Amino acid sequence: MNQSTTPLMTVEVLLKDIARQFYETDIAFSHGTDNAVDEAAYLIFGYLKLDHDSAETIYQRIVAKNDIKAIKSMAAKRIDSKLPIAYILNQAWFAGLEFFVDERVLIPRSPIAELIHNRFRPWINMDQDQRVLDLGTGSGCIAIAMAVYFTNASIDAVDFSPEALEVAAINVKQHSMENRVRLIKSDFFDVFCDAKDLYQYDLIVSNPPYVDKNDISIMPQEFHHEPIIGLASGDDGLDSVNIILRDAGDYLRENGVLIVEVGNSQWALQEKYPKLPFVWLDFEMGGNGVFLLTKEDLDNHNKL
């Protein structure tokens, strides 16, 4: 539509229009929303940089014609290419913080955000000077959120993907965390193994790849825009967590804890390691499949 013929619209009318378009197509609501209205709000509020807390008053605001045109074209892109909104806007939210994202990194959505918000209570005292490792950092969202929430912690963030580390570096800079978050390229613990004493942590957190072969083959198109290195983890989804369970104990201090998200692979994991005393963490804001183990649990198990 020619810009001069674009009708005037309020945020509310535009929201209804875009939501209807999303509702009538076969897009999957998979990255932070579960319905057409929330998906439309994510696009409109994100693009116009509006505050969701003031939504009621914002609904009556008139949207500029060039913004309507841009939003409609982004909605068409969302529908036609199944590209998630986070990649269209280059914007995602995690633990209340904004992150730059593009197709080099997974879109942040881990329930680990809630654990950070709750300061990992009662498992570890994050008011002390803790040393923390984020394994498989992607956009850097977990590492950076921990740096923001835990002002005394020093944080290392590992990823094997150079492209992901480029995005993490953008976010580290954006949050002014260059002195708090150290980005490291490594295949899990590989670069640490010749200097174990230098890499000892009170807390290791990981949202590694954990999707099994079957789930990869049936996942909606939206997920295929995400880097496969961030999702796929062998036939049973356990390739990454097997390595983490084998090696993490070597890098945990006395009383240290390991927290790992494995999502749907929880059942395969429990079946494979029936003797490991996994503590499965509860979430009030949604999510599951996140376990906790202590260094002692890991050392005892690896001695067997």
Cβ atoms of 121 and 115 closer than 8 Å:
no
Segment contacting ligand SAM by CB under 6 A, of 29-37, 41-49, 154-162, 172-180: 154-162
Residue 283 is a binding residue for ligand SAM (CB under 6 A) = no
Secondary structure of 197-215 as H, E, C letters: HHCCEEEEEECCCCECHHH
**Contacting range for ligand SAM; rule: CB under 6 A; set: 5-13, 117-125, 152-160, 264-272:** 152-160
The structure tokens listed for 280 are 């499965």
Nearest to 161 by CA among 145, 141, 184, 142: 184
Q: Which stretch binds ligand SAM (CB under 6 A): 102-110, 248-256, 266-274, 288-296?
A: 102-110
Round the CA-based radius of gyration of the chain to a whole number and report it: 21
x/- mask, ligand SAM, residues 191-210, rule CB under 6 A, reads: ----------------xxx-
Distance of alpha carbon 231 from alpha carbon 213, whole angstroms: 10
111 is an interface residue for ligand SAM by CB under 6 A: no
Closest approach of Cβ 157 to ligand SAM, in Å? 8
Nearer to ligand SAM, 140 or 249 (CB): 140
Instruction: Give Cβ neighbours of residue 242 (< 8 Å, ≥ 6 apart).
Output: none
Q: How far is the CB of 76 from ligand SAM (least distance, A)?
A: 27
188 binds ligand SAM (CB under 6 A): yes
> Could you write out the DSSP letters of every residue in 177-195?
-TTTEEEEE-STTGGGTT-
Among 41, 155, 164, 183, binds ligand SAM (CB under 6 A): 164
Nearer to ligand SAM, 20 or 173 (CB): 173
Measured at the alpha carbon of residue 187, what is the angle toward residues 196 and 299, in degrees to the nearest 5?
45
Q: Kindly tell me which of 134 and 297 has the beta carbon lying closer to ligand SAM.
A: 134
Closest approach of ligand SAM to the CB of residue 229, in Å: 4
Applying CB under 6 A, what is the total number of residues that bind ligand SAM?
22
Among candidate residues 10, 158, 26, the one with its CA nearest the CA of residue 71? 10
